Structure formats: C-alpha cells, structure tokens
Structure 1
Amino acid sequence: MLVLVLSVLVLLVVGGCVCVFWAARGDAPRWARGVAKATLLAGELARSADRGSRSQRSDGDD
C-alpha cells in the first residue's frame, strides 16, 4: 500500500515538472499552466518550510 502511495506521489511530481517545462515554453494549454503554477507554489512552500526548520535547529554556533 505504501509503495502505491509513493508511486502516485512520484507520478504527480513528474507530471508537475513536465507542466512547468511545457508552460515555460509558452505553448501550454490553460490547465497545464494552472498545474505548473500549483507545482511552483508547492515548491516554494516546501522551501520556506525547510528554511523554518533550519532556523529552529541552529544553536547559534555559526
């Protein structure tokens, strides 16, 4: 069951990356541009969440 869930997740990520590439070329339909925008937003959210967890982990010994 876990393998199925992870496989679907990987397919969604790959599909989102394809839509980002397609939209960047400029000839994508509206639905692909929407998927690309959602993919980029999800990436930004993941990046900001990672930055937040890094700042909480730092001990100030930098």
Structure 2
Amino acid sequence: MIVLLLGVLLLVIGGCVCVVWAERGGPRWARAVATVTLAAGEAVRRSQRKGRRGQSTLDDGN
C-alpha cells in the first residue's frame, strides 16, 4: 500500500514539475504531460463540486 501511495505521489510531483517546465517553454513531451496533469486536476475539482451539490452546509457565510 505504501509503495502504491509513493508511486502516486511521484506521479503528482512529476506532473507539477512538467507544468512549470512547460510554462517556461519545455520540450513537447513535457507540454503533453502538463496538459494531462492539468486536465486530471480539473476533473478532480469537477467531481468534488458535483459531490458537494447534494450536501447542505451549516455555514451561511455570516
């Protein structure tokens, strides 16, 4: 289990490095990895928003 979590952590860190590198004009493969990383992050955010729609919140912002 720890090996699996370490593998996921390494993929996340590698994806973040590729995003920064692609922003600075990195190679084509780094831009491709950055695109996949950003798309995966957006998918996670979208799924979290869908999960919250059905929940009521106790905090009304006041």
Question: Normalising by the residue count of structure 2, what TM-score does the alignment of the two structures yield?
Answer: 0.88
Deviations 1:10-48 (A, max 9, x none): 00000000000000112x111110000000000000000
Unmatched segments (≥5 aa) in structure 1: none
Unmatched segments (≥5 aa) in structure 2: none
Q: Which residue of 1 aligns with 2:4?
A: 5
In the TM superposition, 1:45-60 aligns within 5 A as 45-58=43-56
Q: Which residue of 2 aligns with 1:23?
A: 22
Q: 1:53 deviation in Å?
A: 0.3
Higher helix share: 1
Question: Normalising by the residue count of structure 1, what TM-score does the alignment of the two structures yield?
Answer: 0.88
Ranges of 4+ aligned residues in structure 1 off by more than 3 Å: none
Partners of 1:58 and 1:15 lie apart in 2 by 36
- RMSD (Å) for aligned C-alpha atoms: 1.4
Q: Which residue of 2 aligns with 1:38?
A: 36
Percent sequence identity over aligned pairs? 54
